Structure formats: C-alpha cells, structure tokens
Structure 1
Amino acid sequence: MSETSLPAPTSADVARLAGVSRATVSYVLNDTAGGRVSEKTRLRVRAAADQLGYVPHAAARSLRAGHSGLVLMATPEITFGPLFNEFFSELRAGLRDHGYTAVLYGSRADLSGREIARAWAELRPTAVITGVTDDLSPEGVEILRRSGTRAVLTLAAKPVSGAHALVLDQSEVGETAGAHLVARGHQEIGVIMPTDPTLRLFSEPRLSGVRSAATPAGARVEPLDLDYTEESAAALAARWRSLGLTALFCYNDEYAALLLAAFHDAGIAVPAEAAFVGSDDLMLARLLRPRLTSVHVALPQGLFLADLIDRLIREPDAPLETHRVGTATITVRDSS
C-alpha cells in the first residue's frame, strides 16, 4: 500500500498512542484544556499528534462549537497599502486570540449585491465585515443571517440596515486637506485622481471633501488624473506652471512621493511653487524631503475590532451598533 493511500490518523489514534482519552486530546489540540491537563500530558499529546501527522478537523470543530469560526473580510480587488496591512495584521492576531480565523475575500465586480452575499454565505462565515465596498444591501444582510452568520459589520460611509456599522467617511480626509490648504492662503488647488478605477471608492469622496472646504472660501479645485507611473508624474510636472495652481492634494503619501520626485527633477520648488499634502501619514511622509504634510486617518484599532466582533458573535441578537471611526487630522510638516 502506498503512503498516500494510508488512512488519515484520527484523534482516537492520538489518544491511544499518548495513553489518554479522546477528550484530553481535544482539550489539548484545541487549546481549551485550561488547568485540567498537566504540562507533561500536553507535551505527550502534542508529540503523539506530531508523530502520527494528525491535524484536527476544522469541520468537526465547527460542529462542536456551533459555528465555523471564520471571520470573512470582504474587500474590493485593489492593492492595499501599509496602513491597511498593519490594521489587518492586528485584527487577524486579535481574532486568532479569540479562536477565530480571519480571511480576506476579494469582491467581484461582475456580481450583483445579492449574488455577492450568496457567495459569502456559501462559506458559512461566523462573521462578515464588508470593507469599503457598497456591495452589501439589507437583502444581503438577511441572506447572511439566514445562512448562520452571527455578526455582520460594514466599514463604509453610511450604515446598512440590519448590520452593525463602522462609519468611515473618506470625504473627511479631503476636507481636512482642503481646509489646511485654504488656511495657508491657497486659492488654486489641484487634487490628484488616480486613474485606477478600483480607487474611485476613495478618490471621489476625497475630491468632494476638498471642494466642500474650498468652495466657501472661493477657492478653485481642479481634479488631475494621474497614472501611478514616473511618466505620468513627469508629464504633470512639465505642465504644472501652465495650470495656474499653487497647491496639490496628492491622494495619499505614495502618490505624493511619486510627484515629489518628478517635481524635483523638473526644478519645481516645494512648497514655494507647489504646496503638497498627502494622506495616511505613513513613515514615508517623514522620510521624504521636504517632509510631507499628511492627513492622519485614525483607523479602528484591530484589537478593539476583534473584541467587538467576538462580543457580537456571542450576542447575535444584540441591538445594532454604530461606531464612527477614521477621524482625520492634519500632520503639518515642511511640504505645505
């Protein structure tokens, strides 16, 4: 008989080899033993499991727990930056401490909101967090609830009926940048609009925010399309003086870095000829020269969100909650 055709080891095999009960094996391998199992016994059970190549069955564990333990975070199919990566790493660690598994699920643009909710429901997640997409509808929340999802949260500009909400208003980012530039006396402000269509969820509200700050002051706002390439940045730098603009909200710190290099190569002084403001307040903003003024966005702490999700899973009938997150403040440096 070939090695690949051997039957998979079971918890009974581990118990027999370790000389303990199956319940003890379950306690040890699922980290639920508490003080009921000695450290010596723990080591013996783990050694037996390693020797046999035994791995606990997730489906069986789900049956015992009454839920899958899967926390699905639905996101648009875009490349996230350091700010999101740090947030998700902390969230994932916090959920792991509570016994859950966090996974990212890239939403498909070719599916309707109802179809997307059904695709999520097929995975039987214990909780769903919709990212910054507009995919979730009240009908989608109901589909998830009927499939056994205990907690549904949205991270968007507006709450969705039936779901808990973490309200993150991207327009506040632009408004904070615009207010800073207007306060510095700028009446001609450019706003970088990435040509990547998946970033419109962020760029369009940010443009609206700049306009809401600039319009009462009589300032002009001009959107400027930009590819994330050195060639596109150089082309904008080459025509900068002809645009009649004095300031630039660069969408985020990475686009600002791209443009600072292009403006430097073109001999355009920052901030004398072009005041720069980025967003996300990454370490990159402090390393650039001149140091970059940036909008700091206070994303929810991953550990706070993990604790909130755990509570909502354990209390699936709790009243719906709305938490405002992502407050924007300006960190002023040399570029503006």
Structure 2
Amino acid sequence: MTDRAGPRATPTPPTSAAVARHAGVSRATVSYVLNGQAAGRVGERTQARVRAAAEELGYVPHAAARSLRAGRGRLVLLAAPADAVEAFGPLFTGFLAGFQTALHRLGYTGVLHGAPASSPMAAARAWAELRPAAVLNLYGPPLDAPAVELLHRAGTAAVLVLGPSAPPGAHTLLLDQREAGRRAGEHLLARGRRRIGVVRPAEPGPADCAELRLAGVRAAAAAHPDARVRPLDLARTEESAAGLAAAWPELGLDAVFGYNDEYAMLLMRALQDAGHTIGADGPDRLAVVGADDLLLARLLRPRLTSVHAEITPPEQIAGLVADLLLDPAAPPAIHRLGSFHVTPRASG
C-alpha cells in the first residue's frame, strides 16, 4: 500500500536549545546536567527538571559534535577489515566482544572500523575524521611514523599496533604469530617428525598471519639439520583438500601444521578419505596439528592436536587503553597480548 501523501521528511532531532526552553533554563545548564558536570553548579531540582525535559523531547547528545568541541571523544577505534575475522577466527571475535564490553564499563565506546585503506596515511586520515580518543590497529596495513603523528595531531591520545613492533609514537600489542608456528614445529620435531608441511591458506585474509606461522615452523626446524619444511597452498574447499591429499605420496611428508583448526580439519578429513592414517604414534601415521583449539576439533576422531592461545583478558587491555588516555605522555612500550602452547591429542 502506497502513502498518497508522498515521502515523509526525516524529523529534525530535538536540540539542547529546545530542552533549555522546555525546562526553563539556559543551554549552559543543560550542557552541565547532560554531560555529568552539574555537581556544585546546578541544584538537584533543576537537574531533575532538565533530565525530564530531555526524556520528554527525546533529546540525545550529539557525540560527534561534542567530540569536535572537546578535541577528543570517548570513542576507541578498532581498525580491522572484514577479513580479520577470517584471519583470526573465533580468537578475534571472542576478544572483540569482551573488549567492547569492558570499554563500555569504563565509559568508552569501542567501534570496529573495517574500511580498507591504500596506505598508512590514508588509513590514519580516515580514522582521524572520527576524532577517536584511541586507535587500536589490529589488522591491515602497518602504520608508519607520519601516520601516527597525524593521529596525534588530530587529538588521538593513544595509538596501539598489533604486531611484533610499532612505529615511533605508538604502543605495541604483541601476539607473535611466529610463536604459534614455532610451538607447532617444536611439538612435531620432538615427536620425531622431520618432513613437515605447513598450510598456507589460499584466501587473502589469513596471508600475513600464515607467513608468520610458516616462519615460526622454519625457525624451529633450523635446530634440526635433517628436518625440512614445505609450504602447502590450500583453499578452504573440499576440492582443494582432496587434490592435496591425492598428491601426498609425492610430497613425502610425515606431518602437517594446518595453519588453524579449520584448515587442519579439512585436510585431515581429505587425507583419511584418501586412505592415510592420522595419529601421533607410528612411522606410518601422519601427524596433524591445528591452531585455535576449537571445541569442534576435540570432537573429531582422532582428536586434533592444536596450538592454544592464552590471550590477556580483554578487561586488562581495556584498562590499559584507559590508563594511556589518562596519561597520554606515557612513553611507548610493548604490551604482551598473549602467548601460545600446544595442547597434544591423538592426531599428532
């Protein structure tokens, strides 16, 4: 059914001036009350009258305008494009949910910013437009010193970068993906495996993380002159896994680190379908190790050995951000976000 009156105009939101008129007070009084600055300035009855007027009119303070007036808001920007979820999986989504909740309790709002950027400076400009109090660069193009300086000039008090190192002026959140690969490699080498395949996902999202994990396995293998490591390109499809399993006899591998549990489970099923036996014991068995320690991986048979990440509780990271905002002159430092260890099971 169509509206014969034509399209309806978007209603104009009520202003603080309207609240002031409705309550019979000045705009300054409205600002003090609704911004939590009324103590010692505005009486309790007047405060109640202003809040009642704001509720009756449906007035909500304009956070962006308030941020522009103050030069900085209460927004904490988490820079991570959509493919970050694919790269980090449940590890990322679980941390993000807890982190945003913890920020809210501290009076900040966490916003996930997923817009792609062609360069560090382009990313910094896009973020600075929102006047965030802090930026956490969780994934994507690495920032450089000019980009960090631009953010600081725009009023961002704290810039934190996830990675092995950060540019000048930024703090480092260290979750070393090379350690995940090194732990997997050490585990397999300790069990006598010397011909180790390492899955590199064909999808673009996990590419950077996969290269770091491959480097970690190679670092572990460097201590064993008879060991060799071979990258294995694998798309997240049954067809790709079946093709790799069919080529396995020519590869001559006795173990595989599957990048994460999803790719490891996919390849393990294809290898079993091709007649290979998966297991930690026996030279005729293929050892398979995943990462992320998903519940589903424990339900497989054999149960999947996995690299488990011990992540710093998100409440602590939110507290760190809040402390840095209170002390923006604090010198840049390395803040460890977590570590890795292997949870051994029957698969390898």
For 2:239 and 2:260, how far apart are their aligned partners in 1? 18
2:307 is matched with which residue?
295
Contact 2:75 2:111 (8 Å CA) reproduced? yes
What is the percent sequence identity of the aligned residues? 54
Structural mapping, 1:143-154, within 5 Å: 143-154=150-161
Instruction: State which drifts further: 74-83 or 138-147.
Output: 74-83
CA 1:41/1:287 → structure 2, altered by over 3 Å: closer, same or farther? farther
Contact 1:150 1:312 (8 Å CA) reproduced? yes
Contact 1:134 1:156 (8 Å CA) reproduced? no
Of the three residues 206, 219, 225, the one matched with 1:212 is: 219
List gaps (5 residues or longer) in structure 2.
1-6
Deviation at 1:120, TM superposition (A): 1.9
Contact 2:124 2:151 (8 Å CA) reproduced? yes
For 1:245 and 1:146, how far apart are their aligned partners in 2? 53
1:313 is matched with which residue?
325
Instruction: State which drifts further: 314-323 or 202-211.
Output: 314-323
2:337 is matched with which residue?
325
Deviation at 1:27, TM superposition (A): 7.1
1:141 is matched with which residue?
148
List gaps (5 residues or longer) in structure 1.
none
1:74 is matched with which residue?
79
Contact 1:8 1:54 (8 Å CA) reproduced? yes
- What's the CA shift string for 1:160-187, capped at 9, x where partnerless? 2111111222111101000000001101
TM-score (norm 1): 0.87
1:162 is matched with which residue?
169
Counterpart amino acid of residue 313 in structure 1: L
For 1:227 and 1:76, how far apart are their aligned partners in 2? 20
CA 1:31/1:178 → structure 2, altered by over 3 Å: closer, same or farther? farther
Counterpart amino acid of residue 93 in structure 2: N
TM-score (norm 2): 0.84
For 2:115 and 2:62, how far apart are their aligned partners in 1? 28
Task: Please say if 1:284 is aligned against 2:296.
Answer: yes
Counterpart amino acid of residue 113 in structure 2: Y
RMSD: 3.1
* 3-state SS of paired residue (2:345): coil
Contact 1:76 1:131 (8 Å CA) reproduced? no
Counterpart amino acid of residue 206 in structure 1: R
Contact 2:278 2:302 (8 Å CA) reproduced? yes
Deviation at 1:90, TM superposition (A): 0.9
CA 1:237/1:6 → structure 2, altered by over 3 Å: closer, same or farther? closer
For 1:303 and 1:38, how far apart are their aligned partners in 2? 36
For 2:45 and 2:272, how far apart are their aligned partners in 1? 65
2:278 is matched with which residue?
270
Moved over 3 A (4+): 2-7, 11-34, 36-51, 63-66
For 1:294 and 1:204, how far apart are their aligned partners in 2? 18
- What's the CA shift string for 1:218-274, capped at 9, x where partnerless? 211111100111110111122223321111100001111212222232232211621
Task: Please say if 1:92 is aligned against 2:95.
Answer: no
- What's the CA shift string for 1:120-166, capped at 9, x where partnerless? 22222211111143420011111111111110111111232111111
- What's the CA shift string for 1:50-93, capped at 9, x where partnerless? 54332221134325655122211222441511110000111111
Instruction: State which drifts further: 152-161 or 82-91.
Output: 152-161
- What's the CA shift string for 1:26-60, capped at 9, x where partnerless? 677667789x9999999987775454332221134
Instruction: State which drifts further: 53-62 or 170-179.
Output: 53-62
Structural mapping, 1:1-336, within 5 Å: 4=9, 7-11=12-16, 13-14=18-19, 49-62=54-67, 66-80=71-85, 81-106=89-114, 108=116, 111-217=118-224, 218-271=226-279, 273-336=285-348
Deviation at 1:281, TM superposition (A): 1.5
CA 1:71/1:136 → structure 2, altered by over 3 Å: closer, same or farther? same
CA 1:57/1:259 → structure 2, altered by over 3 Å: closer, same or farther? same
* Matched residue count: 334
